Amino acid sequence: MSTSAEQFVSTEFDYIIAGGGTAGLVLAARLSEDPSVVVGVIEAGDWDPKVDAINVPGLCGTILGNPKYDWAFIRIMATDPTSLTSGKALGGSSMLNLLGINRASAREYDAFETLGNPGWNWNELLKYMKKSEKTLPVPVEDSSKYGLVTPDPQFHGDSGPIVKGYPTWFNPLHLQFLETLEKLGVPKNPESDNGNNLGGVTTFVTVDSSSALRSYSANAYYEPNAGRKNLVILTNSTVTKINFRSGSSPLQAVGVELMNGSQRYNATARKEVILAAGAFQTPQILELSGIGNKDILSKHGIDTLVNLPSDHVYVYSIHEIDPTYETIDDIVEPEVLARQQELYKSRLGYLSTALASLFGFLPAKSFASPEQLSQWKEQALATAEKAPAGLRKQLELQIEWFLNPESVEAELLPFPGFFRGSPLKPEPGARYSSMVSSLMHPLSRGSVHIASADPTAPPAIDPNYFSNPLDLEMLLAILKFTLDKVYKTSPFSDPVRKQVSPSPEECASDETLKEYIKNNCGCVYHPLGSASMLPREDGGVVDPQLKVYGTANVRVVDASVIPMQLSAHTQATVYAIAEKAADIIKGL
């Protein structure tokens, strides 16, 4: 049930969860399964179960930048002030994400354990990914037309809260992309959620095709349990810090301070405070609470946290294609929009599903020559040698993966239309094919810290892209593979009329292309590792029980704890982490 701030703080909770986002609501639902346990969730955003831009899959992305639903943090980068999207409402980023749900390789999840986290590995996370999801059957007609296969039940959940299925609308270039990749040595992978994600992949989407609605933590984990008396949700309220019992060592949390409007309140937790405010704001709350690196916190009159956040970095390209191809460019035409709205009533058409559900997951050997690979290896090893011990372990794993022909090092995501992030404008009536080309395991690491002791001030986020110049070299090779191979190999190349972005001038040399990348790169919305689960001496913030070092009863349960960037989009992993965390807390 939802409540007012006054009522909320008059309740004695067992657990207080800061952030009612993707992970926060999984935990809230699981912990409150026991009616004797009282759980309070504090969410900074609102609860809007009826907004089309959230619920209608084909409208996903239209809400980005809207301050009611998106924190839209400005990243610190010299080149441009692009905002970093992060969901702000019940459901958090699962409320506005782009709906793809997939998994990284078994080797990457096993690396959690190798890095010093016993019990965190592929088999264990697979168990919890399955627990979180219900997989819909594949429609026979789509299966024959788009080469989809029935998922292997041993790798997919059948009764969890999050509903996932294959898309119900496919762009005509779907099969052509997969066939071109095959010609370039990247085979189709019909079951990429089994621990081997390499290849041309049609991904599942978090859409319930029986209703053609988004499935996310708010409507899957919270809504069905909203009537529980022992699950209390306070929205439009910001956790400003954790309150500790004075003089306690290790630090004993007794609750949190929160802001509702301009009023401050204290809420009490008998057992634990759990931070689930996402990779940008969980570290903010920790720092505001005095947990972190002294040098940074003393600047703001408080005490900081060692952190290693990172994200995938992408660059886009755009081609104009044969105008007889159906792409979503035509949605601006009123009669097309009306037709799509009509189709949506029968749960069909663009609006019924995610617009991007196709991926090329490539090994480094696809886009780099053997000479480049060995040169990059030497450069990366030199970086690793100079890195602090914890980071060195990660970089050594990354180098091993980079040289492994089974490991996914680049992602190509074809978008059936003009890429909306470009400053250029589409020609009226023209049709486009865009590609988002990303690096999976960047060597650079960014940071997030408080910029002020004021809890309402946004944190200072520095993605620090290309601080290791090898990342730029690798992304350049991935972009060149996209432009010179993928867009020039039939059948994907058949409808191409003209390359729009980068322009011929921007393609003049490697140097001009690097400038293009720097000016047109972005994050793939996967910030993580800002309160990593790693040994303390390796720069970790939480232990394998997700407990913050130096505290008796504060945990972090969200994307912040993922120690390294994965070759996948993050939501499946976050759901699994939260499911596992609930069992850890319950002592199961």
Ligand X SMILES: Cc1cc2nc3c(=O)[nH]c(=O)nc-3n(C[C@H](O)[C@H](O)[C@H](O)COP(=O)(O)OP(=O)(O)OC[C@H]3O[C@@H](n4cnc5c(N)ncnc54)[C@H](O)[C@@H]3O)c2cc1C
Block residue for tokens 């939802």: 2
Q: Which residues are annotated as a binding site?
A: 239
Q: Shortest Cβ distance from residue 280 to ligand X (Å)?
A: 8
22 binds ligand X (CB under 6 A): yes
Of 83-91, 131-139, 307-315, 342-350, which part binds ligand X (CB under 6 A)?
Answer: 83-91
For 241-250, which contacts have Cβ atoms below 8 Å and span 24 or more sequence positions? 241/285, 241/288, 241/289, 241/290, 241/455, 242/273, 242/275, 242/285, 242/286, 242/289, 242/291, 242/554, 244/289, 244/551, 248/552, 250/550, 250/551, 250/552
407/199 Cα distance (integer angstroms): 10
Q: How far is the CB of 2 from ligand X (least distance, A)?
A: 14
Residue 86 CB, shortest distance to ligand X, in Å, is 5
Among 5, 9, 30, 85, binds ligand X (CB under 6 A): 85
Give least dist CB 459 to ligand X, A.
Answer: 10
Q: Using the rule CB under 6 A, is 42 a contact of ligand X?
A: yes
User: Is residue 20 close enough to count as binding ligand X by CB under 6 A?
Assistant: yes
Q: Which of 117, 215, 357, 571 binds ligand X (CB under 6 A)?
A: 571
Give which of 525, 423, 520, 528 is closest to 475, Cα–Cα: 520
Query: Which of 5, 9, 17, 18 lies at the binding interface for ligand X (CB under 6 A)?
Result: 18
By CB under 6 A, is residue 96 in contact with ligand X? yes
Phi and psi for 187 in degrees, rounded to 5?
-70, 160
Nearest approach, Cβ of residue 320 and ligand X (Å): 26
Please identify which residue in 393, 485, 514, 569 interacts with ligand X, judged by CB under 6 A. 569
CB 22, min distance to ligand X, A: 3
Chain residue whose CB lies nearest ligand X: 21
- Residue among 12, 27, 118 at smallest CA distance from 555: 27
- Residues identified as active-site: 526, 569
Beta strands at 73-74 and 83-84: parallel, antiparallel or unpaired: antiparallel
398 backbone dihedrals φ, ψ, rounded to 5°: -60, -40
Q: Per the structure block, which two tokens stand in for 305?
A: 């946290």
Q: Does 40 engage in binding with ligand X (CB under 6 A)?
A: no
In angstroms, the CA 268 to CA 257 distance is 9
Contacts for 173 with CB less than 8 Å, ≥ 6 apart: 321, 325, 414, 416, 433, 492, 495
Site string for ligand X, 510-549 (x = CB under 6 A): ---------------xx-----------------------
Annotated binding-site positions for FAD: 239
- DSSP assignments along 286-348, one per residue: HHHTT-S-HHHHHHTT--------B--EEEEEEEEE-TTS--GGGGGSHHHHHHHHHHHHTT-
**Which window, 128-136, 175-183, 270-278, 439-447, contacts ligand X (CB under 6 A)?**
270-278
- Distance (Å, whole) CA 380 – CA 371: 14
Out of 87, 416, 502, 539, point to the residue binding ligand X (CB under 6 A): 87
Shortest distance, position 252 Cβ to ligand X, whole Å: 21
- Only one of the segments 84-92, 325-333, 369-377, 471-479 lies at the binding site for ligand X (rule: CB under 6 A); that segment is 84-92
Spell out where 465-525 has E strands: 496-501, 521-523
Does position 459 bind ligand X by CB under 6 A? no
Among residues 126, 163, 212, 239, which is the contact residue for ligand X, using CB under 6 A?
239
201 binds ligand X, rule: CB under 6 A: no
93 contacts ligand X (rule: CB under 6 A):
yes
Interface with ligand X, residue 555, by CB under 6 A: no
The amino acid at 47: W
The yes or no reply on residue 88 touching ligand X (CB under 6 A) is yes
Residue 92 binds ligand X (CB under 6 A):
yes
Number of neighbours of residue 245 by Cβ within 10 angstroms: 12
Interface segment toward ligand X; rule CB under 6 A; list 20-28, 263-271, 296-304, 440-448:
20-28
Query: Does the protein bind ligand X through residue 570 (CB under 6 A)?
Result: yes
Say how far apart CA 186 and CA 166 lie, in whole Å.
21
Find out whether 282 and 256 touch, Cβ atoms under 8 Å. Answer: no
For ligand X, the binding residues in 132-171 under the rule CB under 6 A are: none
With contacts defined by CB under 6 A, how many residues of the chain interact with ligand X?
42
Indicate which single residue of 94, 304, 394, 551 sits in contact with ligand X (rule: CB under 6 A): 94
Q: Which of 355, 574, 576, 582 binds ligand X (CB under 6 A)?
A: 574
Closest approach, Cβ 21 to ligand X, in A, equals 2
580 lies in the site for ligand X, by CB under 6 A: no
Q: How far is the CB of 91 from ligand X (least distance, A)?
A: 7
Relative to beta strand 460-462, strand 447-449 is antiparallel
Does the protein bind ligand X through residue 213 (CB under 6 A)?
no
E strand or H helix that includes residue 14 = strand 12-18
Cβ atoms of 205 and 166 within 8 Å: the answer is yes
Residue 64 binds ligand X, judged by CB under 6 A: yes
What does the DSSP 8-state code read for residue 433? Answer: E
Site residues for ligand X per CB under 6 A: 18-24, 42-45, 64, 85-88, 92-94, 96-101, 238-239, 276-279, 281, 285, 525-526, 558-559, 569-572, 574
